[in-house]
Structure 1
Amino acid sequence: MSGSNSTVRLAPAAAILRHTVLLVSGALVLVPFVWMVSLSLKPPGEIFRASFSFWPAEFHGVENYTNALTEAPLPRYMANGLIVCALILVLQILICVPCAYALAKLRFPGRDLLFGMVLVGLLLPHQVLSLPLFILGYQLGILNTYAALVFPYVVSPFGIFLFRQFFKTIPDDVVHAARLDGLSELAIVWKIMLPIALPALIAFSIFSVVGHWNDLFWPLIAVRDQSLMPPPLGIMAFKNEEAGSDYGTLMAASTLVVAPLLIAFLAAQKWFLEGMTGGAVK
């Protein structure tokens, strides 16, 4: 009985400690975003003051956000990001979902070897492949086009792995019943498996869109035309090495670029968590 009583006494303390760690960690993650929003509301003279205050003494937000939308074609950069992210996501789903289904539910020679190659692909940083991808893009003649921003990402090892793990949790009897009803394997993928895997689809969509919306490394190599620049590359237009950067405008532009991602994640966080944990039992 004494052991159970001590366990009961420790449980609230452990919960308090756990929540304290989570709150502190969350606060540390949010600090850069809070600082960014704060700077986007301040005039240049307040940004480098020694004393810190979140709310500006002189509100300069309207000017900063107006300059962010007019000094450079920020709406165009964001439209480019939307086009590129949408194309990448659609192509990834078209390729990754059937591949994941084959690895999860079909038996064929070399299946385990192929899955091992997917795992190797997960371990390789994308920067390692930048030089061969650049040479391939040059030979195909697609550099400085939307295709250059899209084609390196159409096959996602992470997407294949995530969907494969989720499909493994779906009973084989569902697949057998669909085959008995006369559905082809592709029909099973799109009409049966993908609707069931909707949480995984939403989780992967968030990862894909956030990753490619924020990507700077590859666009910096692949495009030169300003009309094709995605948001992270376009924000660099606000830097002025000769006259000095207008950090208020730069932070306002950064806030406008980050805001859609925050809104999308908050709207879909329930399905995101379910999708990330759905395949964990396997």
Structure 2
Amino acid sequence: MSTRLLLPTSAILRHSALLITGALILVPFVWMVSLSIKPPGEIFRASFSFWPQQFYGIENYTRALTEAPLPRYMLNGLFVCTMIVILQVLVCAPAAYALAKLDFPGKSLLFAMVLIALILPHEVLSLPLFILGYQIGILNTYAALIFPYVVSPFGIFLFRQFFKTIPDDVIHAARLDGSSELAIVWRIMVPMALPAIIAFGIFSVIGHWNSLFWPLIAVRDQSLMPPPLGIMAFKNEEAGNDYGPLMAASTIIVAPLIIAFLSAQRWFVEGITGGAVK
């Protein structure tokens, strides 16, 4: 009887904790959307109401799209994130396959180095990357925004964990059919690991779409700026203290990420949990 009484209580506590955490996470986004449809006079009122007394959304969103090159910033972000994901998959999939399915000297040491790189923040490498970018002449170009992220320790780790769940018999059969190791990677392993690739792609796009620190160092040309850096230029040069258009621009930039995540939510969960089976 006591066990039956404890189960509903524990479930209620878990769901309550999840609801409270979710609400705390959503508060800044709700505040952002609310400010994006308010006139300047209502933004700094002491009392909060989501819906404004005077709807000012058309004006704010029109200014966000016309007073700064916001579409250009978003196209830059789309191009940079797409190229990063493609190059990361091209590099990380063969590396993960080697660590998961091949035997060679130094394999454990290489995997340990991947784990060490996984816990290091990318900002630690910003100074060496800046010097390297200056020496090879890629600063203030798209290449400066793309190539520092081509090798992803998280991608190698995630793909390795997923590849380890694939039976070795599949690989042995492919080798008997005459397939090379690279053919096994791209024709067998990658299609079977599609959920993990989608999950990693979402992580990568969100991380680099929202990246500010490295773009702030790597580029100066406004035509190359990704969305977060473009928002800073928008605020300083165009919007000033008028937070309505600034919040409207922020909402426009965040919306594609939310839509993409909701559309790929099932594959995201499957890709993250698939590697935990092994």
User: Is the pair's TM-score, using the shorter chain for normalization, greater than 0.5?
Assistant: yes
Q: In structure 1, what is the Cα distance between the partners aligned to 2:242 and 2:109?
A: 53
- Superposition map of 1:52-71 within 5 A: 52-71=48-67
- Superposition map of 1:128-139 within 5 A: 128-139=124-135
Cα pair 2:144 2:218 within 8 Å, conserved: yes
- Of residues 9, 22, 26 in structure 2, which corresponds to 1:13? 9
Q: Does 1:114 align with 2:110?
A: yes
Cα pair 1:238 1:245 within 8 Å, conserved: no
CA deviation after TM superposition for structure 1 residue 230, in Å: 0.3
Once the two structures are superposed, what CA deviation does each residue of 1:158-186 show, in whole Å capped at 9, x if it has no partner? 00000000001111111111111111100
Q: In structure 1, what is the Cα distance between the partners aligned to 2:234 and 2:39?
A: 16
Q: Which residue of 2 aligns with 1:263?
A: 259
CA deviation after TM superposition for structure 1 residue 14, in Å: 1.0
Q: In structure 2, what is the Cα distance between the partners aligned to 1:228 and 1:243?
A: 20
Q: In structure 2, what is the Cα distance between the partners aligned to 1:174 and 1:22?
A: 40
Q: Does 1:178 align with 2:156?
A: no
Q: Could you list the runs of 5+ residues in structure 1 that have no partner in the other structure?
A: none
CA deviation after TM superposition for structure 1 residue 245, in Å: 1.9
- Of residues 225, 243, 248 in structure 2, which corresponds to 1:229? 225
What's the secondary structure of 2:232's corresponding residue? helix
Q: Does 1:272 align with 2:268?
A: yes
Q: Which residue of 1 aligns with 2:145?
A: 149
- Superposition map of 1:75-90 within 5 A: 75-90=71-86
Q: In structure 2, what is the Cα distance between the partners aligned to 1:260 and 1:78?
A: 10
Cα pair 1:165 1:279 within 8 Å, conserved: yes
Q: Which residue of 2 aligns with 1:92?
A: 88
TM-aligned CA distance change 1:28 to 1:270, over 3 Å: same
What's the secondary structure of 2:27's corresponding residue? helix
Q: Which residue of 2 aligns with 1:204?
A: 200
Once the two structures are superposed, what CA deviation does each residue of 1:127-151 show, in whole Å capped at 9, x if it has no partner? 1000000000000001000000001
What's the secondary structure of 1:84's corresponding residue? helix
Once the two structures are superposed, what CA deviation does each residue of 1:75-120 show, in whole Å capped at 9, x if it has no partner? 0000000000011000000000000000000000001100011001
Aligned length: 278
Q: Return the TM-score normalized by structure 1.
A: 0.97
What's the secondary structure of 1:239's corresponding residue? helix
Amino acid at match of 1:108: F
Cα pair 1:77 1:229 within 8 Å, conserved: yes
What's the secondary structure of 2:264's corresponding residue? helix
Q: Return the TM-score normalized by structure 2.
A: 0.98
What's the secondary structure of 1:240's corresponding residue? helix
% identical equivalent positions: 80
Q: Which residue of 2 aligns with 1:36?
A: 32
Once the two structures are superposed, what CA deviation does each residue of 1:199-230 show, in whole Å capped at 9, x if it has no partner? 10000000000000000000000000000000
Q: In structure 2, what is the Cα distance between the partners aligned to 1:16 and 1:205?
A: 34
Cα pair 1:238 1:246 within 8 Å, conserved: no
Q: In structure 2, what is the Cα distance between the partners aligned to 1:132 and 1:228?
A: 22
Hey, which bits of structure 1, 4+ residues long, moved more than 3 A? 240-244
Q: Which residue of 2 aligns with 1:50?
A: 46
CA deviation after TM superposition for structure 1 residue 240, in Å: 3.4
